[in-house]
Chains A and B, each alone.
Chain A
Amino acid sequence: MADPNKVDPIHQFALTDIVSFGEGGLSFTNSALFMVLTVGVTCIFLLASTSRRSIVPSRAQALSEMLYEFVANMVRDSAGKEGMKFFPFVFSLFMFVLIANLFGMFPFFFSVTSHIIVTFALAMLVILTVIIYGVWRNGFRFLKLFVPAGVPAYVLPIVVPIEVVSFLSRPVSLSVRLFANILAGHITLKVFAGFVVTMGSLGLLGWLGALLPLVMTVAITALEFLVAALQAYVFAVLTCLYLNDAIHPSH
């Protein structure tokens, strides 16, 4: 940053066109580039690490087997044995969010999940899967999701709208949580790092004072790695829980 007094923590989220296709506004942005990189790195790592299929796994193979076991246990615990048919879906979502979050931790890299449109698209994918599969599998019984068992009929006019809003709030909470965590974390990181630069320009006393935000920056970086993994985990767990509702639509 050339001018130390001008710290712009939002600039890192700006979308820039890399390749534009004509006048229609369609373009290949830095966000798209990092989505492609995320998918590419995930695929290459998983394919390369499991290609040898040795009985005594190498380090890379052990890592991908751990990831598989982790997600498989999560799906089995939350959605039951039947939920395992959604394992590829949940695993893809988990890996995409995890790798995209971790990519965001590299300096000068773009964090895909810091844009709500991306996380909302992922959440809509989950909810539409739940609705379509739920209706296809259960038919009208899927609507029992909105009618809790054991509720007297005269309370239903109040309870059903509440349940409907509760259901509709799922994609919003799912996407807002992921996006807000990543966005807020990156802004905090940038602001504290900016303090270091700004104070450092004040001479010796500034350098001493800059130690404090520097320590904070290091601590927040560690916290951000935790958040990156945690949010991927939360996203996948909630996906499993919602899929469980589609398989067994009764509370």
Chain B
Amino acid sequence: MPQAPETKRPKHDDKPGSATRDLAARIARAQGERKVRAEQARDGAAKDMSGFSRGLRLGSEFIAAVIVGGGIGYLLDLWLKTSPWLLLVMVLIGFAAGVVNVARSASQMNKAAPPPPGSDLGPDDDEDDDR
């Protein structure tokens, strides 16, 4: 098959400068492909990393709120001598705050979740800056 490379070769013998243009287009296309591939790789790595960190983050957010609520209740009880009522109330409030924390971080994570690879987002997405 001697004609296979012949068809692939661009026709650049009719106009001067078309060879350079063709080369420029090919370079641009290759660079674009490389960029997309690099971004896909980075997205994959980030997703792997954040699966682990996501779990840790949600867990500690919840526990911390309960501990802080309980601690505040305990200290208020010591101060006002109302043991154990404020401790009970504040542990419940801490529990609620923990749920709020988890819901809030989960929604932040959803917002920060990367779009599926290959989707065209335009040159720059700065819409989230005014958040």
A contact residues vs B (CB 8 Å cutoff): 76-77, 80-81, 158, 161-163, 165-166, 168-170, 172-173, 176-177, 180-181, 226, 230-231, 233-234, 238, 241, 244, 248, 251
B contact residues vs A (CB 8 Å cutoff): 49, 52-53, 56-57, 60-61, 63-65, 67-69, 72, 90, 93-94, 96-98, 100-101, 104, 108, 112, 128-131
Are A169 and B65 CB-contacts (below 8 A) given A80-B129, A176-B60, A244-B131?
yes
- Residue among A76, A165, A176 with the most chain B CB within 10 A? A165
Whether B100 contacts A162 by the Cβ 8 Å rule is yes
- Residues in B neighbouring A166, C-beta threshold 8 A: 65, 97-98, 100-101, 104
Known: A165-B72, A233-B53, A248-B131. 10 other contacts (CB 8 A): A163-B100, A165-B93, A166-B65, A166-B101, A169-B68, A173-B63, A230-B49, A231-B53, A234-B57, A238-B57
- Residues in A neighbouring B56, C-beta threshold 8 A: 177, 181, 234
Are A176 and B49 CB-contacts (below 8 A) given A80-B130, A162-B100?
no
Across the interface, name the chain A residue whose C-beta is closest to B130.
A80
Bound form: Cα–Cα A220–B90 in Å: 39
Could you say which of B64, B96, B130 contacts A162, with CB atoms under 8 Å apart? B96
Bound form: Cα–Cα A226–B56 in Å: 14
Min CB gap A169→B, angstroms:
4
Could you say which of B49, B90, B128 contacts A77, with CB atoms under 8 Å apart? B128
- Residues in A neighbouring B96, C-beta threshold 8 A: 158, 162
Whether A172 contacts B131 by the Cβ 8 Å rule is no
Bound form: Cα–Cα A172–B52 in Å: 20
- Residues in A neighbouring B108, C-beta threshold 8 A: 241
